[in-house]
Amino acid sequence: MAEITKDMTIGQALQISPAIAPVLLEIGMHCLGCPSAQGETLEEAAMVHGLDADELMAKIREVL
């Protein structure tokens, strides 16, 4: 399995592991299928939602 990194788009990360969807939904990223998910990185999305990108990545690693 490829590694998920914070510079990947939300869409790329979900393609690698759909299991991260609940983590993203839990922190308020409800637009997993919208166009912004295809162009916004996990790091950018974390910033928009007022989260630390490294904390988000730690949560994602917990479900992988």
Please state, in angstroms and rounded to a whole number, the distance separating the CA atoms of residues 59 and 23: 7
How high does pLDDT run on average in the chain?
Answer: 91
For residue range 17-27, list pLDDT tens digits in order: 999 999 999 98
pLDDT tens digit sequence for 4-63: 999 999 999 999 999 999 999 998 888 788 887 788 999 999 998 899 999 999 999 999
Neighbours of 45 (CB within 10 A): 23
Half-sphere exposure of 60 toward its Cβ, with a 13 Å CA cutoff? Answer: 24
Encode burial over 24-40: b for 16+ CB neighbours within 10 A, e otherwise: beebebeebeeebbeeb
